[in-house]
Structure 1
Amino acid sequence: MKKTALSLAVASSLFSLGAAAEATGVNTQVDDVIVVTASRTTQEKFDVLASVDVFDRADIERIQPESVADLLSRVAGISTTVSGGRANQTSLFVRGGNSDHLLILVNGVRVGSATLGTKDLSAIALNLIDRVEIVKGPRAALWGADAIGGVIQIFTRQLGHGEAQIGATLGHDNFQQAYATVGLGNESHNYTLTVSSERANGFDVQPGSETDADGYNHRGISLAGGSKLSETYQLNISGQFETGNTQFDSSFGGNESDHNNHSLLFNNQFSLENGQLDINYANSRDNGETFGNNATPTLFETKREQINALTQLAVSQDTELLLGVDFLSERVNSTTEFQESTRETYAAFATGRHQLGKVKLEASVRHDEIVDIDSETTFNLSAGYQLSQQWLVALNHGTAFKAPSFNELYFPLQFGFIGNPNLVSEHARNTELLTRYNSQNYSVEVTLYNTDFTNLIGSGSTADGTSTTVNINEVEIQGIELTAEAQLFGADHRLTLSHVDAQDQSNQQQLTNRPYFTANYAINFSFDRLNLGADIQHKGGNASGFFRTDLSAYTLFNLTASYQVNDDLRVNAKVSNLGDKNYQSNANFNSDGRGFRLGVDYRF
């Protein structure tokens, strides 16, 4: 689908808080892909001195994942756990870090719960997504708190004006999904509106409880685009709203939850003689209310306001400078009365990039002042050497931190637990070596890394024996990742392998939910109008949950097919968990058995 010039400009413009580039086909060379999350400026993927993965709309339509977590489970170094089905609580563990050591952005806007410190990706509908960028390794020197294991940025749909697409899918467990997206405006004003609805009866997500189907219904809407108001000024706007209900099993508290989330961004972009200035305002809300099961309803709501200014300057043909300031205000509203419910963060950062022949150099430094907690200074140093047009080797060293969540700091005395306002931030120091090869038909990326964590927050007790949180844990993580893509024997192949050794230094035990080994292999055949695909997902055995329940390794097989009836109409089909494997990704929670889906997409 061809995009207009303005839609492409909008898609590549929001570099200060994130931007999308033009969607690329599955056979595009790696160095043709443009990414922004790694450096907050546009770069060709091959030139980025960090491990980066990108899934565009074409990838999503080909893979037909069932959720954002299902899509991300195909990335080397990412382990996922799901407390039941597609709509239940999902956690990501990147390079052995905790689930809250990951920064999630939607169109450049920080999202997630300030009480839990994580974002539940199950609430985001895949039909709203145009592109996902995954940057692994510390990026706190650019993005601030939480960017320890990496940064995941989701961009919503972008079409040219006059373009549109609709679709519907049916599947097992009475799965029903429908969406519509349309490009609005003209050559000067281009916006994309997308709406999505999804529901399913679900399955019994927790063994041992009363057998029942735990279903869900989710709805979402997004608007993204921009207006070119003069030769030097463009206003870009993006907004997203999600609402829905999810059922689950619980013998303690409610057994249903409602969510109402939104994010909104206004990007003012000014063209300068030798660069660009962006001034941004954003706000977001993550709202979750649990009820039912004869329990008292509980509400946890996070509201954020963000103001950002960023200047990108081309000092010379080989040197670029990035200067920025960030302001973040967080407020918690809850039926639980926290000791403190607001905090603010002020930050300034600078990044310099320089190319000296075949040598690529990059340095970033950032200072964060977190009111009532602490100040943090982080840095990242990178050096790369391009051996040839196909080979790049890079060495990275950086630091990162994660500020304690409101629950960890200020939770009032309830259920024998109380927060600890004396906590300090968790810290990480990372060193990694990356090797990247890219040619017309092959690409390979191998990364070795070592991360040391200090002041990790764990369980402790007060003088009177009440459970609380304390900075006690030290962890060392070593790992290796491989991602390889190839066009061989008339098919596209993708292989990812990862080994993670995440040792708690106090007891020399592997951290929970971190399998030593994971692997994914996908193959895709194209025959004129017919596309056939298969993928194998393997997750090694690991300990899970508070009691370190041993979970067995498992391997899942999935099949996909799509047929292009004509230039506008496509039929899609998928069989997931072909072998009907009985497995658990999270202790004490069931996973779905064999499933199927059949859908149609129409473009006009």
Structure 2
Amino acid sequence: MHSPTLRLRGAAGARATPSLRGAPAALALLAAALLPALAAAQAAPLGETVVTANRTPQPLADLVADVSIVDRETIERSGATGLADVLARVPGVEISRNGGPGTTTSLYLRGAEQRFTAVYIDGVRMDSQTTGGAPWEAIPLGLVDRIEVLRGPAAAVYGSDAVGGVIQIFTRKGEGPAQPYVGIGAGSHGTYKAEAGVAGSAGEGGAVDYALGLEREISDGFNARPVAGQNPDKDGLRRSALNARVGLQIDPRQRIEGTLLGADSNAGYDTTPLGNDDRALHRMHALGLNWRSQWTEHYTTRLSVTDSRDRYETRPSPYVTDTRLRGYLFQNEWRQGGHLVTAALERREDHLSNGEIDGDRSQDALALGYGFTAGPHAVQLNARHDSDSEFGGHNTGSVAYGYAITPQWRATASAGTSFRAPTLYQRFSPYGVASLQPEEGRNVELGLRWTQGASSASVVAYRNRVKNLIVFGAAGPCRDEYGCYANAGRARYEGVTLSAQHTLGAVQLRASVDLQNHHDETTGRQLARRAKRHATLGADTRIAGWTVGSEVQAEGRRFDNAANTTVLGGYTLVNLYASTRVAQDTTLLARVDNLADKTYQTARTYAQAGRTFYVGLKWAPR
């Protein structure tokens, strides 16, 4: 049966098969490349500092968590047209999109449903109280500076929603003398982009830092739904976006910072009778204010107030849904030697306006954490209690341990619990059931990482079981005869992720392979739009002043429906990119995406772009 949430922002809930017949042969080649640890995908250097794992800056080498980092350079050369496309090249991530640019996009982290990934922009929580999950199609890629992807449940740190993991998006932060930039570009399907901004610091010792960015994107698009009865018109996109970030270092121990990311987009899609120009209007913002204080050598606090909005409207079909989230966080950190103790008080307030729904709910939480590193040992313990205004108390916890077997080899193990409270739409819409209970998960994982010089490789095996899974089913206790939401499902997300990186002469290689089995434990069928195998392989080098590279993305066969009868075929995409400095401060970038002009779908009846070209110039004095 077809869920009513498909009308809101796209289908995300069908299931897929365990069979992998028809998967691209490139998958086997990529796996063979990984086994000798000759290449890897987005593996983060151990010297990096990561914020997302425990909500506080920590060296990656001290973490037991499974984390990937995507920096600005990787984003710019990726050839990606949207944020989800960049993330699809990170280990453990798959996406589906209902059509062309700016249309409904779903992301699966370790196979978990879209709503099971907690998403933050500069510490500001983004979510929808209709379908659940972040509005990936609405977040402007051009203003993103860095992305951290935490795989594995993190509800003991973040509370509701972090069942599959956490993705944190960071905008640019100013530092040093003013650094302006201006960029323009043009590509296939009448695509034009323009960007401009400046970042830097001022005052004594750079006490005030600032960053401002503007972006405008226009695309004529293509016929994203080439089926009978749908408009054969092009489904284009118009988007304007901005980000602003200002920080004040009051003294060496006190800092205040404000952040803003906002975007308005207007995208075409096809769903109503022939002749209508269907438009999806999307408005989002993430606004945050932070005060960080280091009271002593060991004790630090952070106070945050955040506000976010996800408003989605369709025309001429009249539909509007508007989610507002307000958050308050008071985090305490005590560091001494190899010990890190954290204690946080947090409040989240959700509001949904959707037709007859105009409702609120809140969650208050206490979260405690303890981390310890000494010699080859690393331990991380977390516990959290959430008190929901609708469901009462909910406890989550996690324990993780890492051991450096040798200077090159490190083993990790972890276990944790998680939950997701049902959305206000799932409870109070015509299809809603007020008695729905939170979805609950239990996860275990084992990891092994090898690092030597510029080369590294890792393997992580995981199993995440979710009960009380909310699904849309037959008519029941709700007001609509079409069908109702119910806690009727159980799902198992399990798999192995292999990744590595290696420099071979002047060539940098990177790749990953995900071998997974995500299925409905009630029916035994594969979960929707998630393949048994997917992989990436990339390489880049310097030739005669040019940086040139290529990337292969391979996705196995999936199913698009709950009965596992509608097949989405496997596919392999090849992307090429090249860049060079044409003047002292000006860089030329050229990309070809889907070089072989592959015809493929990530959602049934919705086309994806064929071969596309893009050329851009960027002026950025250094």
TM-score by length of 2: 0.89
1:406: which partner in 2?
Answer: 424
1:123: which partner in 2?
Answer: 138
Pairing partner for 2:389 from 342, 366, 371:
371
1:484: which partner in 2?
Answer: 500
CA RMSD of aligned residues (A): 1.7
Contact 2:527–2:562 (CA under 8 A) maintained in structure 1: no
Deviation at 1:388, TM superposition (A): 2.7
Contact 2:42–2:510 (CA under 8 A) maintained in structure 1: no
Q: Secondary structure at the match of 2:422?
A: coil
1:52 paired to 2:99: no
CA distance in 2, matches of 1:202, 1:69: 17
CA distance in 2, matches of 1:512, 1:372: 30
CA distance in 1, matches of 2:602, 2:309: 29
**Structure 1 residues 27 and 453, CA gap change in structure 2 (3 angstroms):** closer
CA distance in 2, matches of 1:27, 1:578: 22
Comparing 369-378 with 237-246, greater Cα deviation is found at: 369-378
Comparing 589-598 with 81-90, greater Cα deviation is found at: 81-90
Q: Secondary structure at the match of 1:341?
A: strand
CA distance in 2, matches of 1:45, 1:320: 14
1:162: which partner in 2?
Answer: 178
1:255 is matched by which residue type in structure 2?
Answer: D
Counterparts of 1:402-441 in structure 2, within 5 Å, are 402-411=420-429, 413=430, 418-441=431-454
Deviation at 1:389, TM superposition (A): 2.8
Comparing 137-146 with 109-118, greater Cα deviation is found at: 109-118
Q: Secondary structure at the match of 1:58?
A: helix
CA distance in 2, matches of 1:107, 1:180: 20
Pairing partner for 1:580 from 593, 597, 622:
597
Runs of 4+ in 1 over 6 A off after TM superposition: 26-29
2:7: which partner in 1?
Answer: none
Contact 2:156–2:367 (CA under 8 A) maintained in structure 1: yes
1:588 is matched by which residue type in structure 2?
Answer: T
1:456 paired to 2:480: no
TM-score by length of 1: 0.91
CA distance in 2, matches of 1:29, 1:497: 16
1:220: which partner in 2?
Answer: 241
1:327: which partner in 2?
Answer: 347
Contact 1:529–1:565 (CA under 8 A) maintained in structure 2: no
Pairing partner for 1:195 from 214, 219, 226:
214
Pairing partner for 2:223 from 204, 207, 219:
204
1:38 paired to 2:53: yes
2:618 is matched by which residue type in structure 1?
Answer: D
CA distance in 2, matches of 1:333, 1:395: 42
Pairing partner for 1:88 from 99, 103, 119:
103
**Structure 1 residues 202 and 27, CA gap change in structure 2 (3 angstroms):** closer
2:10: which partner in 1?
Answer: none
Deviation at 1:117, TM superposition (A): 0.7
1:386: which partner in 2?
Answer: 404
1:285: which partner in 2?
Answer: 309
2:31: which partner in 1?
Answer: none
Equivalenced residue count is: 568
1:23: which partner in 2?
Answer: none
**Structure 1 residues 490 and 184, CA gap change in structure 2 (3 angstroms):** closer
CA distance in 2, matches of 1:489, 1:185: 39
CA distance in 2, matches of 1:345, 1:29: 33
Contact 1:32–1:44 (CA under 8 A) maintained in structure 2: yes
CA distance in 2, matches of 1:28, 1:423: 39
2:448 is matched by which residue type in structure 1?
Answer: T
Q: Secondary structure at the match of 2:74?
A: helix
Contact 2:292–2:302 (CA under 8 A) maintained in structure 1: yes
2:593 is matched by which residue type in structure 1?
Answer: S
1:563 is matched by which residue type in structure 2?
Answer: T
**Structure 1 residues 220 and 547, CA gap change in structure 2 (3 angstroms):** farther
1:482 is matched by which residue type in structure 2?
Answer: L
CA distance in 2, matches of 1:569, 1:357: 46
CA distance in 1, matches of 2:477, 2:596: 53
1:318: which partner in 2?
Answer: 338
Comparing 588-597 with 154-163, greater Cα deviation is found at: 154-163
Q: Secondary structure at the match of 1:259?
A: strand
Q: Secondary structure at the match of 1:565?
A: strand
Deviation at 1:329, TM superposition (A): 0.7
CA distance in 1, matches of 2:490, 2:526: 12
Unaligned runs of 5+ in 1: 1-25
Deviation at 1:62, TM superposition (A): 2.5
Counterparts of 1:96-175 in structure 2, within 5 Å, are 96-160=111-175, 161-175=177-191
Deviation at 1:503, TM superposition (A): 2.0
2:586 is matched by which residue type in structure 1?
Answer: L
1:558 paired to 2:569: no
CA distance in 2, matches of 1:36, 1:55: 13
Deviation at 1:520, TM superposition (A): 0.5
Q: Secondary structure at the match of 1:31?
A: coil
Contact 2:101–2:236 (CA under 8 A) maintained in structure 1: no
1:17: which partner in 2?
Answer: none
Deviation at 1:268, TM superposition (A): 0.7
CA distance in 1, matches of 2:544, 2:330: 48
2:292: which partner in 1?
Answer: 269
Q: Secondary structure at the match of 1:100?
A: helix
CA distance in 2, matches of 1:52, 1:355: 18
Unaligned runs of 5+ in 2: 1-40
Contact 2:525–2:562 (CA under 8 A) maintained in structure 1: no
Counterparts of 1:54-69 in structure 2, within 5 Å, are 54-69=69-84
CA distance in 1, matches of 2:225, 2:44: 44
Deviation at 1:72, TM superposition (A): 0.6
CA distance in 1, matches of 2:453, 2:43: 9
1:380 is matched by which residue type in structure 2?
Answer: S
**Structure 1 residues 553 and 29, CA gap change in structure 2 (3 angstroms):** closer
Q: Deviations over 1:156-213 (max 9, x none)?
A: 1223341111111100000000101202540110110000010100011112112110
CA distance in 2, matches of 1:463, 1:199: 46
2:483: which partner in 1?
Answer: 467
1:392 is matched by which residue type in structure 2?
Answer: R
Deviation at 1:463, TM superposition (A): 5.4
Deviation at 1:563, TM superposition (A): 1.0
Deviation at 1:300, TM superposition (A): 0.7
Q: Deviations over 1:128-167 (max 9, x none)?
A: 0110000000000001111011101100122334111111
Pairing partner for 1:243 from 261, 264, 269:
264
